[in-house]
Every structure is written in structure tokens, then in C-alpha cells.
Amino acid sequence: MKIKLTSVHVDDQDKALGFYTEILGFTKKADFSNGPFRWLTVVSPEDPEGTELQLALNDSPESKAYQQARFQRRQPAVNFQTDDVQGDYERIKARGGDFAMPPTAVTGSTIAQLDDTCGNLLQITQLARW
């Protein structure tokens, strides 16, 4: 068994698609609609057949409250792993990414956190090499 799909709620799917592709550098995988429902996913260009991230429209009061509470507590909605957190930080910042935390050493890793402009805090993690 493996994870093929995970989701993050966003307040605007078009804005999220722009952020996740143009700022983070992911690739659009699926984008189709059925009535008011839009299925939108992105993938890492390093693993185009790997795990998809669904950019799900946050259109219920319950999910909006949950998303806002996580953001206010500074709990990331998504955690991306990298081999070069400093390089990714510099690349994303140069593309307009707004970091809430620059690369910071913590136990066992170095992390950076940024706002996805769609209601979420994201974390980029580079694991320590022992």
C-alpha cells in the first residue's frame, strides 16, 4: 500500500494553482470540472507519477474554521521534504514566496515555513544527515 493522493484546502483554486506551480515549482497533473466541483492536483516535477496534492476548494464553514485555527497556531497544512532547504528557500523567495520562518535548524532537521497565500502555512524540511 502507498499514498497516492493527499489534499490541502485552499480558498481560491486558481490562485493556489498559480502559487503551487509558479512559486513552488510543482506541475499541474489534473484539472477538470463536473458542475461546480473542480478536481485540481499538482505533483513534484521530480516524481510526476508520484503522490498528487489536491488543491481542494475550502467551501464549508467547518473546514474554513479548521484551516484558520491551524494557521493561527502556526501548524503547517503540508510538509514538503527537500535535500536543499536553503536553495529552495532562496529560489522560492526570489519568485515572491513569503516566508514566515527562514531555514532554521531544529532537532534532526532544518525547516522553513511559508504562507501559500490561500490560507495555509507550508513547511519545507531537510532531514539532518547523521
Write b or e for each residue in 9-34: b if 16 or more Cβ atoms lie within 10 A of its Cβ, otherwise e: bbbebeebbebbeebbebeebeeeee
- Structural domain span for residue 106: 5-127
pLDDT tens readout for residues 17-60: 999 999 999 999 999 999 999 999 999 999 999 999 999 999 99
| pLDDT value at 130 more than 90 | no
For the chain, the domain total comes to 1
pTM over 0.85: yes
Grid cell locating 37: 466541483
pLDDT tens readout for residues 78-92: 999 999 999 999 999
CATH (domain of 41): 3.10.180.10
| C-alpha span between 86 and 42 (Å, rounded) | 23
